[in-house]
Every structure is written in structure tokens, then in C-alpha cells.
């Protein structure tokens, strides 16, 4: 079971709100990269993605990849990468056992090299589709292979369809999930459309159901108000129709939540909404 759960804020980009929410206005909004850290009673420290890290700057210093740095112009958190923040909490990055990957965009995998003993858990198509693509298609999809550790392939744990089963969690519209640790504590949930094999994670903690939805919507408001991002971002989606279908199902879920806390990776409200949701546990 999950003994502890907390979020780390690893940095942010600044974009026009219109870009991530059609009709959102031209004002600028911060888009943080926030990762949940799960402490499992027997499997230890588990991350869902890594957020930004210094490696991103190294990999985008020249060539076509430099365009990614210019377009995203991310800022690292003043508290440092996920590895630095874990160290500050007394957790050795070498002790991170698993990193579940929602997808392979650089803001989700930039810190992988900082966790030398972690195994990487993801849908096989999330990686296979990218690695088979040409250099230009990889660039269009935002894939930076240099962010992967040299022994990446030896440390992969592909999520098997055999772990797909009816979840014990009540997530209307998302009745099936991958039982990632085999004990019902962490569920991988398909959220197709944003990138190949795009995955969310759901779990029960502190008497509530938390659903980390990665990049299925950049903002929580996109889910509650059913608003798509700008069509400009369709260029980077792996499947526009699937993305819209996923967003519709999340919108439906948000209106029938029964206490389910939906937390997008980039939403500026995620940290505060998470703190509010666990507040009653901290008081006990
Ligand atoms: Zn993404
Ligand atoms: Zn992202």
C-alpha cells in the first residue's frame, strides 16, 4: 500500500493562456511541471515522471533540438530538480526503485539520468513509436533520445496487457487499469491522444482517490469546462480524436467525482488542490 504521497514542483514554462485553453485570453500563465512521489510499503520510492532537470539544457544546446528550448524556455525550480529535492528531504535518488512514465516528452523524462537504480515502467508503444521514427519525426514529437540513460533498455519494465483488469477504484468512464505493482495500490490508466501510450496513474490515499492525468489536459479548467487547447498544439498530438475523447471522459468524471481528485501535471492549481485534498489527514 502507499504509505506516503507528496508532490514536487520541478520548474515551469510561461505560455499564453490561449495556447493551452482556447478562448483563455492572451495573458501569460505559468505551467509548472509537478510530479507525484509515492512511498510504497514494500516497493519503496516510486516517481511518476521526473519533471525538468539540468540535462534538458545540455541536450538542447545546439542543432534542431535547440528549437525546443527556445519554444518552451523552461525555468528550473529554485529548489532544483526532483533528485535535488528528494535529497533535501533525506531520500537518496539511488533508492528510487521505479519511475512510471506517462510519455516521453522532455519535461517528463529530463531527470531520468539522476536515478541510476530505478526501473522504468511505461507502455511499450510510448517508446517503440518514437525510437522507430526518423530524426525529423522525433524532433516534431519532441523526443530527445539523449535524455535517456545509456542502460535505459536494460532497465525497462513494459506494462503488460496481462495486468489490465477491472480496477477496484471507482473511476466512471475509466473502469479498467493496469495493476502496476500487482497489489492494487497503483493503477496505470490509459489516457490516449496526447502522445503514444500516454498514461495516467490513479490510487487511493488518505481516504480519497487521486487521479494524476499527466498531459491529458494542461489545465484543470480544460477538464471541468471541456475546453480544448489551441489547434496549434494539434501538431504535437499523436491522435487528435483520441485526445478529445479522453478529455470528454475526464470532463464526465469531473462532474461525477464523488471525491475523486483529478490532478493535471501542468496546472498551476494542482499543488494547492492536492494540499487541500490531504489537509484532513495532516490534521489527525
Ligand atoms: Zn507532453
Ligand atoms: Zn508535459
Look up residue 129 and give its three cell numbers: 513509436
Domain boundaries, the chain: 2-283
What does the pLDDT profile of the chain (284 residues) look like in tens digits? Answer: 999 999 999 999 999 999 999 988 889 999 999 999 999 999 999 999 999 999 988 888 877 777 777 777 889 999 999 999 999 999 999 999 999 999 999 999 999 999 999 999 999 999 999 999 888 888 878 899 999 999 999 999 988 777 777 766 668 888 889 999 999 999 999 999 999 999 999 999 999 999 999 999 999 999 999 999 999 888 888 899 999 999 999 999 999 877 899 999 999 999 999 999 998 887 65
Tell me the per-residue pLDDT of 19-51, one tens digit each, with 9 for 90 and over: 999 988 889 999 999 999 999 999 999 999 999
Question: β-strands 156-158, 119-122: how paired?
Answer: parallel
Ligand nearest to the CA of 34: 2
CA of 198 to the centre of ligand 1 (A): 9
CA of 108 to the centre of ligand 2 (A): 6
Whether residue 223 contacts residue 264, with contact meaning beta carbons closer than 8 Å, is answered with yes
In angstroms, the CA 19 to CA 38 distance is 31
Q: Burial of 158 by CB count in 10 Å (0-12 exposed, 13-18 middle, 19+ buried)?
A: middle
pLDDT value, residue 244: 97
CA of 177 to the centre of ligand 2 (A): 21
Query: Which residues lie near ion ligand 2 (Cβ < 5 Å)?
Result: 107, 215
% of residues, the chain, pLDDT over 90 = 73
Whether residue 255 contacts residue 264, with contact meaning beta carbons closer than 8 Å, is answered with no
Q: Burial of 43 by CB count in 10 Å (0-12 exposed, 13-18 middle, 19+ buried)?
A: middle
In angstroms, the CA 222 to CA 225 distance is 6
pLDDT value, residue 158: 86
Ligand nearest to the CA of 141: 1
pLDDT value, residue 71: 76
In angstroms, the CA 143 to CA 133 distance is 10
CA of 107 to the centre of ligand 2 (A): 5
What superfamily would CATH give domain 2-283? Ribonuclease Z/Hydroxyacylglutathione hydrolase-like (3.60.15.10)
Dihedral, 30, 217, 131, 154 alpha carbons, nearest 10: 90
Give the number of other CB atoms < 10 A from CB of residue 67: 12
Residues 6+ apart with CB under 8 A from 106: 56, 59, 60, 68, 72, 142, 144, 147
Whether residue 7 contacts residue 36, with contact meaning beta carbons closer than 8 Å, is answered with yes
pLDDT value, residue 284: 55
pLDDT value, residue 160: 76
In angstroms, the CA 19 to CA 166 distance is 36
Look up residue 107 and give its three cell numbers: 519535461
Amino acid at each position: 500500500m502507499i504509505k506516503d504521497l507528496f508532490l514536487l514542483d520541478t520548474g515551469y514554462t510561461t505560455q499564453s493562456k490561449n495556447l493551452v485553453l482556447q478562448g483563455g485570453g492572451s495573458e501569460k500563465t505559468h505551467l509548472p511541471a509537478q510530479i507525484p512521489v509515492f512511498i510504497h510499503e514494500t516497493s519503496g520510492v516510486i516517481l511518476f515522471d521526473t519533471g525538468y532537470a539540468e540535462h534538458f539544457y545540455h541536450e538542447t544546446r545546439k542543432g534542431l533540438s535547440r528549437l525546443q528550448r527556445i519554444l518552451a524556455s523552461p525555468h528550473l525550480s529554485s529548489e532544483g530538480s526532483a533528485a535535488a529535492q528528494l535529497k533535501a528531504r533525506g531520500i537518496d535518488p539511488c533508492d528510487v526503485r521505479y519511475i512510471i512514465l506517462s510519455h516521453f516528452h522532455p519535461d517528463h523524462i529530463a531527470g531520468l539520468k539522476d536515478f541510476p537504480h530505478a526501473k522504468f515502467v511505461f507502455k511499450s508503444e510510448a517508446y517503440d513509436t518514437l525510437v522507430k521514427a526518423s530524426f525529423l519525426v522525433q524532433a516534431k514529437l519532441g523526443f530527445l533520445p539523449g535524455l535517456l540513460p545509456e542502460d535505459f533498455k536494460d532497465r525497462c519494465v513494459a506494462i503488460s496487457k496481462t495486468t489490465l483488469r477491472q480496477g477496484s477504484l471507482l473511476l466512471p468512464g475509466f473502469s479498467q487499469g493496469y495493476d502496476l505493482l500487482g497489489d492494487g495500490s497503483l493503477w496505470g490508466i490509459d489516457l490516449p491522444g496526447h502522445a503514444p501510450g500516454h498514461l495516467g496513474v490513479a490510487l487511493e490515499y488518505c481516504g480519497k482517490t487521486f487521479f494524476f492525468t499527466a498531459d491529458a489536459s494542461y489545465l484543470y479548467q480544460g477538464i471541468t469546462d471541456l475546453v480544448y487547447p489551441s489547434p496549434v498544439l494539434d501538431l504535437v498530438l499523436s491522435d487528435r480524436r483520441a485526445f478529445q475523447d479522453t478529455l470528454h471522459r475526464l470532463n464526465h468524471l469531473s462532474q461525477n467525482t464523488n471525491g475523486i481528485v483529478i490532478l493535471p501535471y501542468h496546472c498551476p492549481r494542482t499543488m494547492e488542490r492536492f494540499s487541500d485534498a490531504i489537509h484532513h489527514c495532516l490534521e489527525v
